[in-house]
């Protein structure tokens, strides 16, 4: 009976962990640039002198992410940027350089190009991007930034630098608790000249709401099934104890 309870409890724990991941995905359906989180499990052979070769358990190995591109939404806002294909925007966080696909940028009180959470967007020179006041910004597809000041001659366009666009291998990226991705040990990825972006668009989340809802229901049913196994095992144990007590 103990082995039945142990196996069912392990299955229930995995279902709860999967439910937490799916719930987080569902909560971020409308979050720009969000990458769907995936729970990955591995088989764990039972150890000990009473173990059997066919008896295994499971454990959460890690969480991975789906890097499939989300849909594009046109906003017409000059500071809204979206990457076409593979690649990431680089931003400066308190923990070092991080990467995001969310391109809903703004200009803060210090005239710096920042994310919605106020983190500076990095240039190809690994420095914050300073935006002149009352200027008309233009972004090229490779991240070059030009500005035309209010009342300036159209020929007096200034080049402000280039947005840092990177494309590190997906398997080397680790999702942080803040939702940003980073390289292991805080390393910084080099700018990739092959990454392309477009202005006036934002990338939607790549989470499919219908699939997330189906997974949510399936996990709830799976958890319920595991609980029923534990209840049945407890009932059988009580019956067995009753039979032994009657003898």
pLDDT digits (tens, 9 = 90+) for 199-247: 999 999 999 999 999 999 998 898 888 888 888 877 777 777 777 776 5
Mean pLDDT of the chain: 86
Q: For the chain, how many structural domains are there in total? A: 2
Q: Residue 54 above 60 pLDDT? A: no
With beta carbons less than 8 A apart as the criterion, state whether 199 and 81 touch: yes
Task: Using alpha carbons, select from 162, 163, 168, 161 the residue that is nearest to residue 188.
Answer: 168
The larger pLDDT score, comparing residue 54 to residue 96, is at 96
Q: How many CB atoms lie within 10 A of CB 174?
A: 14
What CA–CA distance (Å, rounded) separates 98 from 122? 10
Q: Is residue 94 part of a domain?
A: yes
What CA–CA distance (Å, rounded) separates 17 from 196? 36
The larger pLDDT score, comparing residue 26 to residue 5, is at 26
Same domain, yes or no: 137 and 60: no
Same domain, yes or no: 163 and 214: no
Same domain, yes or no: 116 and 195: yes
Same domain, yes or no: 199 and 77: yes
Q: Which domain holds residue 35?
A: 2-67+207-236
Could you tell me the pTM of the whole model? 0.81
When pLDDT is averaged across residues 139-160 and rounded to a whole number, the result is 82
What CA–CA distance (Å, rounded) separates 191 from 97? 12
Same domain, yes or no: 157 and 98: yes
């Amino acid at each position: 009976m103990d082995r039945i309870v142990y196996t069912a409890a392990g299955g229930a724990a995995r279902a709860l962990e999967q439910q937490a991941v799916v719930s987080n995905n569902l909560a971020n359906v409308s979050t720009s640039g969000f990458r769907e989180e995936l729970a990955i499990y591995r088989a764990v052979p039972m150890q000990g002198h009473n173990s059997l070769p066919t008896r295994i358990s499971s454990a959460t190995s890690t969480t991975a992410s789906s890097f499939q591109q989300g849909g594009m939404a046109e906003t017409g806002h000059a500071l809204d940027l979206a990457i076409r294909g593979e690649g990431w925007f680089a931003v400066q966080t308190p923990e070092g350089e991080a990467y995001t696909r969310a391109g809903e940028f703004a200009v803060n009180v210090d005239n710096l190009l920042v994310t919605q959470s106020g983190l500076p967007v990095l240039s190809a020179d690994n420095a914050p991007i300073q935006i002149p006041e009352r200027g008309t910004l233009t972004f090229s597809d490779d991240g070059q930034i030009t500005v035309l000041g209010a009342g300036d001659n159209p020929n007096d366009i200034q080049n402000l630098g280039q947005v840092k666009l990177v494309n590190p291998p997906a398997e080397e990226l680790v999702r942080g608790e803040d939702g940003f991705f980073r390289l292991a040990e805080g390393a910084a990825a080099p700018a990739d000249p092959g990454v392309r972006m477009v202005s006036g668009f934002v990338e939607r989340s790549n989470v499919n709401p219908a699939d997330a809802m189906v997974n949510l229901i399936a996990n709830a049913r799976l958890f319920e099934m595991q609980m029923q196994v534990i209840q049945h095992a407890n009932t059988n144990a009580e019956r067995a104890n009753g039979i032994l007590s009657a003898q």
